[in-house]
Chains A and B, each alone.
Chain A
Amino acid sequence: MSEKPRNSRIVQAAQARGVDKAPRPGRTTGLGRIIIAVYGVLALSATVRALYQIFFRDFSEAPLAYLLSLLAGLVYILATFTLSSAKPGAWKLSLFAVSFELLGVLVVGLLSFVLPDHFGHDSVWSYFGKGYGYIPLVLPLIGLWWLFRNRNERHV
């Protein structure tokens, strides 16, 4: 990796004060950080929404959909942490988490059209993530692409 020019005064000041950390693997820098950030936002909104649905709305209205919503949120949280982690095994765990999200949005998305009574309620996965601008459908694909682009780091 070539040395990048560092001409930001704020960055230089931060480095001078020792705020800067050791170099990280490529998976967690640059574009990867943006993917992680989007995962973080989705993790937060999906989890908080699911908790709101479970505690403030009638849970018996759609228990399955709300629990799936919560599960989706928790796996998004897992993905956010594993994607940003440089620890050994984080790559593989990220692969599982991201694949699970893709499977979830495809299966629940399909079921929400086939069985709208059970799966048609607002959740992060229903109708292929329509309520979230289809980000739940697109993000796992980008995540998988990014993971396999940086697969050489899996043993790091």
Chain B
Amino acid sequence: MFALNGFFIAGAIVCALAVLLGIIATIIRRYPDDWALIATAGTEIFLIVYAVAAGIRQAGGEAILGESWEFWGYLLTAAIMPPIAFFWAVSDKSRWANTVLAVSGAITFVMLFRMEQIWHVGVVA
């Protein structure tokens, strides 16, 4: 585990919101819910802000304990997910589009957790 910090807490809240709205929308909607879509777009915006901030922090000499190529690999993969989920949901038009959005939010959280591990703990597994 790593010490809680502002980036992680903010990311966790954004992801939790996307997961929660995705699950609720799966239950109560038979079409993609606008708020679930917006929340998923929110996770992407968070990742972009996180990436810019990480770039500035690392360029400024802030130590990253793990491998930096691993960190950026995770970040790139994470950033690809929400757009896929978003456009998938828009073209699917069924109840399950909302579940896809919820899964995307959960994946983003797991990726963020791993990135924070790589940054603050270093090699884990």
Interface residues on A, range: 20 to 34
Which of the residues A7, A8, A29, A44 comes within 8 Å of B37, measured between beta carbons?
A: A8
Counting CB contacts under 8 A, is A6 at the interface? yes
Which of the residues A6, A9, A34, A44 comes within 8 Å of B93, measured between beta carbons?
A: A6
Counting CB contacts under 8 A, is B107 at the interface? yes
Establish whether residues A11 and B90, one from each chain, have CB atoms under 8 Å apart when the complex forms.
Answer: yes
Counting CB contacts under 8 A, is A19 at the interface? yes
Counting CB contacts under 8 A, is B108 at the interface? no
Establish whether residues A30 and B95, one from each chain, have CB atoms under 8 Å apart when the complex forms.
Answer: yes
Establish whether residues B31 and A4, one from each chain, have CB atoms under 8 Å apart when the complex forms.
Answer: yes
Establish whether residues B91 and A19, one from each chain, have CB atoms under 8 Å apart when the complex forms.
Answer: yes
Partner-binding segment picked from B3-11, B51-59, B96-104, B116-124: B96-104
User: Knowing A8-B33, A10-B37, A11-B31 touch, does A33 contact B90 (C-beta < 8 A)?
Assistant: no
Q: Which residues on A sit within 8 Å (CB–CB) of B97?
A: 33
Once bound together, how far apart are the Cα atoms of A41 and B88, in whole Å? 15
Establish whether residues B92 and A29, one from each chain, have CB atoms under 8 Å apart when the complex forms.
Answer: yes
User: Knowing A11-B90, A29-B92, A30-B92 touch, does A37 contact B30 (C-beta < 8 A)?
Assistant: no
Once bound together, how far apart are the Cα atoms of A21 and B44, in whole Å? 24
B99 closest partner in A (C-beta): A34
Q: Which residues on A sit within 8 Å (CB–CB) of B103?
A: 34, 37-38
Q: B residues near A, CB below 8 A? A: 30-34, 37, 77, 85, 87-88, 90-97, 99-100, 103, 107
